[in-house]
């Protein structure tokens, strides 16, 4: 038992296990969509608008109507019609969650949205004809905040879209420079509610059936992506399992040490009591 306790106590440290456990979790999260044949997307909007989206889906006809994040982009010296034009009659999504958080601030019209407005922010930094280091730092901190914290009154909707549909039906958003579909993507096609997380069990079950039916075609068409998903999920699962097992071993070792310490203390107390009893008996016998 003592050898087991020593061996368990030599398990990797708790911070290391937590780190590898988190890495495993991220690996599984990255691998599962690739295994299932989906692309994880996000749409930043308001809490009120999200209710309608969960019922009706993301409608292309509502794109560029100024109901969501794009409506908050107007301002002096900037024509919002240009960016609205890029998403008019299109759904707009992102595969990058921080970008979706950024959008929630414009959708909810938060005070932070004013600070990170593309044109207004540049105008403030260049005010007076010379960039101010203090203002640049303030803008940088506001940008970090807008990408890490969702707006009050805003909501991010997660979307599990069949990968083939994302690859063939979406293009990089011109309003974001057409850099990458991962940053911002648009499509003239609606995204039905069954693809949106939180739309209800019945809707999500229909998505599951669709994915199972299309899985053979997906594997045949995108074998590399499927294999990568299998590797990430398996490797991540192993890391997470190993971390959990090591944490359990350390907890067991700690419990064994505590039990051993209590047993030793009890043994000492019993020995002292026995010796004290003998002394008392001798003293009492001598008095008699």
What is the DSSP secondary-structure string of 207-262? Answer: HHHHHHHHHHHHHHH-HHHHHHHHHHHHHHHHHHHHHHHHHHHHHHHHHHHHHHHH
227-270, pLDDT tens digit by residue? 999 999 999 999 988 888 888 887 777 777 666 666 666 666 56
Assess contact for 85 and 64: CB atoms under 8 A: yes
Q: Which of 165, 198, 221 is the last residue of a domain?
A: 221
Q: Are residues 131 and 28 in the same domain?
A: no
The C-alpha atoms of residue 4 and residue 138 are separated, in whole angstroms, by 55
Distances (CA, A) of 181 to 33, 160, 178, 184: 17, 15, 8, 5
| Rounded mean pLDDT, 262-281 | 63
The pLDDT score that the predictor gives to residue 217 is: 95
Q: Which of 114-118, 130-134, 178-182 has the highest mean pLDDT?
A: 178-182
The pLDDT score that the predictor gives to residue 90 is: 87
How much is the mean pLDDT over the chain? 79
What is the domain count for the chain? 2
Q: Are residues 108 and 30 in the same domain?
A: no
Q: Are residues 104 and 25 in the same domain?
A: no
| Among candidate residues 46, 54, 39, the one with its CA nearest the CA of residue 196 | 54
| Among candidate residues 108, 134, 124, 127, the one with its CA nearest the CA of residue 50 | 108
pLDDT classification of 152: cutoffs 50, 70, 90: confident
The pLDDT score that the predictor gives to residue 5 is: 46
Q: Are residues 146 and 28 in the same domain?
A: no
The pLDDT score that the predictor gives to residue 178 is: 73
Q: Which of 58-67, 71-80, 120-129, 176-185 has the highest mean pLDDT?
A: 176-185
Measured at the CA of 112, the angle between CA 107 and CA 115, to 5 degrees, comes to 115
Give the SS3 label for residue 180.
coil
Q: Which of 221, 244, 259 is the last residue of a domain?
A: 221
Least confident of 26-35, 75-84, 117-126: 75-84
Per cent of the chain over pLDDT 90 is: 34
Quote the domain boundaries for residue 1: 1-35+234-288
Cα dihedral 206/40/226/242 (nearest 10):
-100
Assess contact for 102 and 116: CB atoms under 8 A: yes
The pLDDT score that the predictor gives to residue 119 is: 57
Assess contact for 243 and 24: CB atoms under 8 A: yes
| Among candidate residues 65, 158, 145, the one with its CA nearest the CA of residue 111 | 145
Neighbouring residues of 236: CB distance < 8 A, sequence distance ≥ 6: 23, 24, 25, 26, 27, 28, 29, 30, 31
Q: Are residues 113 and 188 in the same domain?
A: yes
Per cent of the chain over pLDDT 70 is: 69
164-174, pLDDT tens digit by residue? 999 999 998 87
The C-alpha atoms of residue 229 and residue 27 are separated, in whole angstroms, by 9
Residue 229 in domain = no
The pLDDT score that the predictor gives to residue 271 is: 65
The pLDDT score that the predictor gives to residue 288 is: 45
Assess contact for 8 and 249: CB atoms under 8 A: yes
Q: Are residues 55 and 137 in the same domain?
A: yes
């Amino acid at each position: 038992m003592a050898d087991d306790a020593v061996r368990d106590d030599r398990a990797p440290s708790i911070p290391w296990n937590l780190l590898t456990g988190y890495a495993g979790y991220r690996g599984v999260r990255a691998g599962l969509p690739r295994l299932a044949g989906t692309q994880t997307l996000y749409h930043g909007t308001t809490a009120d608008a999200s209710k309608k989206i969960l019922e009706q889906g993301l409608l292309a006809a509502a794109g560029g109507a100024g109901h969501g994040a794009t409506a908050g982009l107007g301002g002096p010296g900037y024509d919002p019609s240009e960016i609205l034009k890029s998403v008019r009659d299109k759904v707009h999504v992102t595969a990058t969650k921080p970008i979706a958080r950024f959008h929630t601030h414009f959708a909810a019209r938060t005070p932070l949205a004013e600070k990170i407005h593309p044109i207004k922010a540049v105008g403030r930094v260049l005010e007076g004809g010379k960039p101010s280091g203090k203002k640049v730092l303030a803008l940088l901190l506001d940008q970090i905040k807008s990408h890490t914290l969702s707006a009050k009154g805003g909501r991010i909707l997660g979307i599990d879209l069949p990968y083939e549909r994302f690859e063939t039906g979406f293009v990089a958003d011109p309003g974001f420079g057409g850099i990458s579909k991962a940053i911002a993507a648009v499509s003239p096609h609606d995204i039905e509610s069954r693809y949106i997380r939180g739309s209800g069990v019945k809707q999500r079950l229909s998505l599951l059936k669709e994915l199972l039916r299309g899985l053979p075609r997906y594997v045949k068409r995108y074998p590399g992506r499927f294999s990568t998903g299998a590797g990430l999920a398996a490797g991540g699962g192993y890391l997470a399992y190993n971390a959990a097992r090591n944490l359990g071993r350390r907890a067991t070792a700690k419990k064994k040490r505590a039990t051993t310490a209590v047993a030793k203390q009890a043994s000492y107390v019993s020995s002292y009591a026995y010796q004290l009893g003998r002394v008392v008996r001798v003293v009492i016998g001598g008095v008699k």
